[in-house]
Chain A
């Protein structure tokens, strides 16, 4: 237990819930060699902080959803989702996706869609929200992030977006402080 205890404070989840969310997010946006995924982006910390604040109305839904996932995982493989092998996790995710597609009112399927949405938010949102660490989401797709603006040269056809230095909301704050001092 102690070795996989969270590396930084949680505001809503307990450590077991955080491990489950981290593992599920990693199935939605997997990590590859040289290509970080939801785990490296810190998506679980984005979701945890959102549930402690803006998304607090979704807390009961998350509690119930994580319990449903735990039941499903234990029933299918006799262990918690975060303790399953990658292959077993993938099988469960396929089941959840199939259930979401077959019946929009199926709760487990719905919960999977919601975590999918929040994983994408945590992966592609500004790092100020706790996810998208080291702007790995933006690096992946070639989004230069929070830019003050773009020049006419940058708006020409044929420009390689990945050559534009990525900027965050925090960088824009620093820019304004610099300009005004």
Chain B
């Protein structure tokens, strides 16, 4: 007899962990299937090891576990990841897929916790209003979202307070405090914690942007700056982006939601359990469960009237496609990713870039989204410019070093000796419009160990992407000059990665099954009981990091699911008793 559950959740990461917590607290019996490990804090007791985590990617799945292929266009044969590393196989692991394991990408994210702006939810309309209907990128499927910022605002707040985000809000119900972000969208409430300790290299950046008339603000981070919900403050160890947290100061569903879900007794969590198919009734109109393979390679069929796909966006698409769920050709369509435009400087003063977290620094929103400066390059959408001054270890510094400097001999040795402690970086995340020619599907020849086809990305940087990097490169150069930078250099505007843990849009939300895959709650059109949640739902992609919006959408989906089940949920679903255990 097949095991039966109320709900099956596939992937216990940024959103799956939250949905598991919300449902189990209301008494729903949940089976959580996670293809990676359920790590303990003991696994991460000493993680200050650049080779193990950053260079060898100990907690990311890597190409051997979850193969990914990429090609520039549909006439080319796709190459197996890591295509940007060549035979070295030692590419930066975060130009790949995020971690598998309970917590998923939140195990190692840098924690940049941005809300999207109001205009980000109506990108198509906002571009038409600013530049005219005729300026919309030709052939792009860019659209407005079916929900607005105001719809999502309470769920953003919930993510910030439940998951533990720190920062200094700029706009609380229209009130602005000095030194905060004057372009912040309106919030109901401030963050539960102040910003984390600022890195020293951020100080000259803040001074320079202020002199240039810009408005720097401390970045919101999913990182404890003080003890919060029993987890300690960040200790500024400087091994953060790409690393697990040894003190559990970073917000990860691995230490927030999943432990709470376990305490309810309603979560049957099975790590090392890889779902290989979504099962439906013979007419395909109702989900009945999933098939998964356990760590002993045994195959199991389990049943539930509701199945929630909350794996990485590309993995959600892959699972639907291998299960014959194509969504009228919409599953896998509208792939979008970020182009970071890395810009590095050598500052006159020491930045000590090994200190603190990746984003223990500031950003400006002066040119973000609809506030993109007038320009001759045809750039239609802006991005924050973000200062990065921490979390830089020497091998990564070597990878980022000035391409004009020789990589061997005394010139190389002396460059590292003289410049490592003075490095400063900036990035932007320029928008990547969706086009029919940017999509994911199943690779026709490459399969994983179990015979499941690899996901294949078809994507190339458009002129708009490259022009955006150039436009924002100019802004970064102005800031660097104002800081008195001794050397500067910038990444290619058409970088080799195409995959960066920021990949979204492959199961777009909307009301029309001809142009979208799910409704705003994640319910897949035409298949009763099947949900797909996460960044795959995004309709457009502005310049902010995706995770806070993914988490807000997870709270929205959970609330909808509970309403459907006749339950109610609100803030404070944890009891004082289970709170103690969580910690």
Binding site for B on A (CB under 8 A): 27-30, 32, 35, 37, 54, 57-58, 61, 90, 93, 97, 104, 110, 113-114, 116-117, 120-121, 124-126, 128-129, 137-138, 140-152, 154-161, 169, 172-173, 176
Contacts and interface: CB of A to CB of B under 8 A. Distances in A.
The 8 closest A-B pairs by CB, nearest first: A149-B235, A146-B48, A124-B394, A141-B420, A157-B200, A125-B51, A150-B236, A28-B408
A113 B399 CA distance: 12
Contacts of A116: 407-408
B227 interface: no
Given A141-B394, A143-B394, A176-B46, A155 B410 contact: no
B554 to A, nearest CB: 31
16 contacts: A28-B409, A29-B408, A32-B410, A93-B408, A93-B409, A110-B87, A114-B88, A117-B90, A120-B398, A125-B51, A129-B51, A143-B393, A147-B237, A149-B247, A156-B200, A169-B49
Contact of A121 (B51, B246, B247): B51
B398 A124 contact: yes
Nearest to A144: B354
A97 B408 contact: yes
A29 B412 contact: yes
Given A140-B417, A151-B236, A161-B421, 11 more contacts: A27-B409, A124-B398, A126-B51, A143-B394, A144-B354, A146-B48, A148-B235, A149-B235, A150-B238, A156-B200, A157-B200
B349 interface: yes
Nearest to B408: A28
A103 B285 CA distance: 54
The secondary-structure label for the interface of chain B is loop
Contacts of B246: 148
B413 A30 contact: yes
A27 B408 contact: yes
B51, B89, B197: most-surrounded residue (chain A CB, <10 A): B51
A159 B237 contact: no
A90 B410 CA distance: 11
A155 B409 contact: no
Interface string B206-244: 000000000000000000000000000011111100000
A176 B247 CA distance: 13
B576 to A, nearest CB: 29
B437 interface: no
A89 to B, nearest CB: 11
Contacts of B420: 141-143
A121 B49 contact: no
A112 B356 CA distance: 34
A124 B48 contact: no
B86 A125 contact: no
B413 to A, nearest CB: 5
A64 B170 CA distance: 59
Contact of A61 (B49, B87, B406, B408): B87
Interface in B392-444: 393-395, 397-398, 406-410, 412-413, 416-417, 420-421
B484 to A, nearest CB: 14
B56 interface: yes
A161 B46 contact: no
A17 B517 CA distance: 57
Given A144-B354, A176-B45, A155 B198 contact: yes
Given A121-B395, A143-B354, A146-B48, A157 B421 contact: no
A110 B410 CA distance: 21
Contact of A159 (B56, B200, B417): B200
Nearest to B202: A157
Contacts of B235: 148-150
Contacts of B87: 61, 110, 114
Given A117-B88, A120-B395, A121-B395, A28 B412 contact: yes
Nearest to A90: B409
A155 B360 CA distance: 11
A57 B87 CA distance: 11
Nearest to A152: B197
Contacts of A160: 350
A147 to B, nearest CB: 6
Contacts of A117: 88, 90
Interface in B347-367: 349-350, 352, 354-356
A61 B199 CA distance: 42
A157 B86 contact: no
A71 B234 CA distance: 54
B198, B394, B398: most-surrounded residue (chain A CB, <10 A): B394
Contact of B200 (A32, A143, A147, A158): A158
B50 interface: yes
A176 B48 CA distance: 13
A147 B413 contact: no
Contacts of A110: 86-87
Contacts of A90: 409
Contacts of B407: 28, 97, 116
A4 to B, nearest CB: 23
B50 A126 contact: yes
Contacts of A114: 87-88
A122 to B, nearest CB: 9
B567 interface: no
B571 interface: no
B55 interface: yes
B409 A141 contact: no
Contact of A37 (B354, B395, B413): B413
B45 A121 contact: no
Contacts of B88: 113-114, 117
Given A140-B416, A169-B46, A176-B45, A155 B200 contact: yes
